[in-house]
Amino acid sequence: MTLTPLPPGDHGLLAARPEPDLAAAGYEESEHLLATDRGTTRVVVRRPVTARTSGTLLVEWLNVSSGSDAAPDWTFAADEILRAGHAWAGVSAQHVGAMGGFSAVAVEGAPSGGLRGRDPERYAAVDHPGDTHAYDLFTSAALAVRELVGADLVLAVGESQSAAMLTTYVNEVQPRTGTFDGFLVHSRPAVAAPLAPTDGGPAVRMDDMLRGGPVLVRDDLDVPVLVVQAEGDLFDRIGFLPARQPDTDRFRLWEVAGAAHADGYVIGEFESFLGCAVPVNRGQQWAVVRAAVRALERWARDGVVPPSADRLEVDGDDFVRDEHGLVRGGVRTPVVDAPAEVVSGRPWPGSSSACRLFGSTTPLAEPAFPDRETYLAAYAAATDAMVASGFACPEDREALLAEARPDLVGRGA
């Protein structure tokens, strides 16, 4: 396998949220072609050059549900990656991201040109052989970038469709290759991706994948797996609930109360383009994902086992909710334990395919607090409890506090 740098240019990773200033953080970004005997694809690398280096590399299976490569876990966890000094690599592991195809969300059925269609000259050498070889390409990318950045610990991360692919990697590929030292599987469906497209074509299709039965993470791995699920992942299209499994000394499941599969943090100022009937979810999944990155790295490097989390409470095909309509159980965040609004991961009735993934934020039927002072005290206490429990990083405390909404609470005394 060969890793060849591309000249500076637009890597085209989809992101609605503004990117951090890598140079100011002591990082550099580079883009490479990865050539193997299976084919050629693209890898984006962000690594510390003047910043302290941790020796850890996170390799993200880029998400292609929109029809183009995106890096949702980089978006959620970039602040933690940079302050910890980790390197990060985004791999165009799937055929759609490299060569084009059909999107699972956004404009349903709309084709995407992938890297080749977006910039035929820059990516002329990209030649993805199809998703039968996606797992081998991901392995090769991890090995090549590990050597490039000099990492001594390599973690795999992936969200949504990528998490389904990563679940298959954990169960079927990792036992053969031993490539990774740990896995962060984020917002996976109950199913796992097939090892090859089921229709004989070049690309795995999400709709075909979701017709499968539930798959558990194997219990005989010698590396840790941390699964993070939003409230909105358990039912509806993602339907994770049947794949729940108990924690072990190598497995943790964190289910985040009040969180949606996608949310206001990732869509940012582009929310209006979705055209959703109500505001999208304002949950605090971002803080939990950052804490998960930290917890997994400590687990893989030092053997420090992360905390176990209560499961979200369910009753049949719905959640058990409190008097405000907020789900009980799970990883608790300030916006659910000191509510000024109702944040839900479940889709708003009649939502489009995209809006169904973004949940909702709606007014409380009755105020939860008599005045702003009481609300802010409760919100601060909930924030501190989240940090103390290990589900938020101490460095994120001020950012969590900044998301309080005292403007929605009565003025009081």
Q: For position 111, what pLDDT does the model report? A: 52
Question: Distance (Å, rounded) from C-alpha 310 to C-alpha 294?
Answer: 19
- Check whether 109 has a pLDDT greater than 80: no
DSSP 68: S
Annotated domain spans of the chain: 1-223
- Check whether 411 has a pLDDT greater than 70: no
pLDDT (tens digit per residue) in 345-376: 999 999 998 899 999 999 999 999 999 999 99
- Check whether 212 has a pLDDT greater than 50: yes
Q: For position 412, what pLDDT does the model report? A: 45
> Residues of 112-142 as b/e, b for ≥16 C-beta within 10 angstroms?
bebbbbeeeebbeebebbbbbbbbbbbbbbb
- What SS3 class is residue 182? strand
Summarize the confidence of residues 5-9 as an average pLDDT.
Answer: 95
Q: For position 106, what pLDDT does the model report? A: 55
- Check whether 206 has a pLDDT greater than 90: no
- What SS3 class is residue 337? helix
> Residues of 22-49 as b/e, b for ≥16 C-beta within 10 angstroms?
beebebeebbbbbbbebbbbbbbbbbbe
Q: For position 22, what pLDDT does the model report? A: 98
Per-position DSSP letters for 239-266, written without gaps between them:
--GGG----BTTEEEEEETT--SS-HHH
- What SS3 class is residue 41? strand
Q: Which residues are 103's β-sheet partners?
A: none
Determine the length of the chain: 413
Residues 6+ apart with CB under 8 A from 236: 346, 347, 356
Contact status, residue 46 vs residue 256, Cβ threshold 8 Å:
no
Unique residue bearing structure tokens 């999208």: 280
Angle subtended at Cα 164 by Cα 4 and Cα 233, rounded to the nearest 5 degrees: 130
Helix axis angle, 285-302 to 72-84, nearest 10°: 60
Please, which pLDDT band fits residue 107 given cuts at 50, 70 and 90?
A: very low
- What SS3 class is residue 95? helix
What is the model's pTM? 0.97
Question: Distance (Å, rounded) from C-alpha 188 to C-alpha 158?
Answer: 9
Contact status, residue 154 vs residue 142, Cβ threshold 8 Å:
yes
pLDDT (tens digit per residue) in 310-357: 999 999 999 999 999 999 999 999 999 999 999 999 999 999 988 999
CATH topology of domain 1-223: Rossmann fold (3.40.50)
- What SS3 class is residue 18? coil
Residue 230, H or E segment = strand 225-230
